[in-house]
Structures are given as C-alpha cells and as structure tokens.
Structure 1
Amino acid sequence: MQATVNWRDGLVFEAESGSGHSVTMDGNKAEAASPMELVLMAAGGCSSVDVVSILEKARQQVSAVRCEVKGERADAVPAVFTKVHLHFVVTGTDVADKHVERAVALSADKYCSVAKMLEASVQLTHSYSIENV
C-alpha cells in the first residue's frame, strides 16, 4: 500500500492513494478536513464498512448506518488523540439488537485495522443505537 502527498499552497495538500483515489487536506481547515480529522473519519469509515458487512451477512434489513466519531486530543504538542468514541446509529426494519451489538464488537475487537492501530495509544470506545422504521 502506498500514497503520495503533494503540497498545493498554504497548508493545503493533495493526497493520492496507490489505487488512484485522492483527497484534499488542509492544516487550517479552511478548504478541507485536517489530517487529524481524516484520522477520525478513517476510523469511522473502517468500522462502518465492518458493521454494514456483518449486518448484511446476518440478513438484517438495514437502510442506513451512521457513525458519529468524537475525539479528544492532548493539550500539549504533539496534540495526539487520547480518546476516540465511535457511536453507530443503525436504521432499518426489525433490526435485532444482538446483531448490531455483535457487529460493533467484531469490528472493534477483530476487524477494523484503523481502530486496532489507534487502540495501541488511544482509549477507544464504541456504542450504538437502533432506529427501527
């Protein structure tokens, strides 16, 4: 796996993945998300992929999944994340609590590479709620 990051101007950078996808980053958060915001988004995205995949395999009738990610950072430089909380909101018809609980736990404990990497130095927590429609 690889990526290339090119400076555009100011504190704005364009990153391109080895697979050819790109994202803009902005250290001032004026034009794009900051690199630290992208870390939170990556954790939420990685875990969401797992949760959706697991729920689909469990044949749950899911119509939406939202992952709300909150991070707390250290007061000193480097301002690393000290705590990250991922809250999943799963919407669907007759979605079983046991399946959502299992999907979130499997993502946290086994599958999400981003979360597993972060948990080495960050207090990582998870929760969920279900909105039946």
Structure 2
Amino acid sequence: MEFKMKTEGFHIELPYGRLDISGNEENGFRPYQLLISSLAVCSGGILRTILTKMRLKVDDIRIIADAERNPKIANRIEKVSLHFKIKGSHLSDEKIAKALELTTKNCAMVQSMIDSIEVCKTYEIIDS
C-alpha cells in the first residue's frame, strides 16, 4: 500500500476507489475512525459468516461502535465497545453468545489489537 501526501493528510488509490485520510474530518476519514471501523466491520463480517454456518436466519446486523480515548497519552484508544443489533428469526441468547465468542477468536483485527485495546462486545436480538 502506498499513501500519497496531499495538502491535508494522505490518500491511497485502492481497487474499490480512493481513500482520503486526515486528522481533520473535513478532508478525509480520521485515522481513529478507520481503526474502529476495522474492528467493527471485521467482527461483523465474521459474525455473519458464523451465524450462516450455524444455519441461523439473520435479516440484518447493525453495529454501534464507541471508543474510549486517553487524552493524557496522545489521545490513544484504550477501549472499543461494539454493540450488535441482530435481527432474525428463532435466535437464542445461547447461540448468539457462542457466535460472538467465535467471532473474537477469528477476527484478525480484534486479534491484532488484543494486547493493546480492550474490545467489548454486547448484543441484542430483534425478532423479525
């Protein structure tokens, strides 16, 4: 990956399109937004795959992500909370909890951050 400097921040051309990154939200995605997005969407994708393999009917997954930052140490991210809103039929707490446990073990982004950032996952089931 090659990032190229621009007036405010950097950009990269990827097969899907251009990604602009900047510390200023008016000029691109902020780095912390990309990090949180990586944790959330990697987890969501793995969760979706696991639920499909478990033959559970899922109509929708929404992920609410929030980060706790430490302003005393470079505003570093110390905790990311991911709340999954899972809509489907015949979903049980037991199966969803097991699926989230497997998600943590199989998500490359979460595993990459495991000793640096606490990742907390919660969920709610919405019957369809």
- 4+ long deviations beyond 3 Å: none
Partner of 1:82: 78
- Normalised TM-score (structure 2): 0.90
Superposition pairs of residues 62-81 of structure 1, within 5 angstroms? 62-81=58-77
Please state if 1:94 is matched with 2:90.
yes
Partner letter of residue 11 of structure 2? E
Query: 1:83 is paired with a residue of what secondary structure?
Result: strand
2:55 counterpart of 1:52 = no
CA RMSD, Structure 1 to Structure 2 (Å): 1.5
Give unpaired runs (5+ residues) of structure 2.
none
Q: Which residue in 2 is equivalent to 1:6?
A: 4
CA separation in 2, counterparts of 1:24 and 1:83? 25
Contact 2:8 2:27 in 1 (8 A): no
Q: How much does 1:77 deviate?
A: 4.4
Counterpart among 96, 100, 119 of residue 124 in structure 1 = 119
Shift of 1:15: 2.3
Q: Distance between the aligned counterparts of 1:25 and 1:38, measured in 2?
A: 9
| Aligned mates of 1:14, 1:53 — CA distance in 2 | 31
Separation (CA, whole Å) in 2 of partners of 1:72 and 1:78: 13
- Taking structure 1 as the reference length, what is the TM-score of the superposition? 0.86
Residue identity matched to 1:5:
F
Question: How many residue pairs were aligned?
Answer: 127
Q: Which of 75-84 and 63-72 deviates more?
A: 75-84
Moved more, 50-59 or 28-37: 28-37
Deviations along 1:45-97, one digit per CA (max 9) or x if unpaired, are 10001100000111111011111111111113422111111111101122222
Stretches of structure 1 lacking an aligned partner (at least 5 in a row): none
Identity %: 24
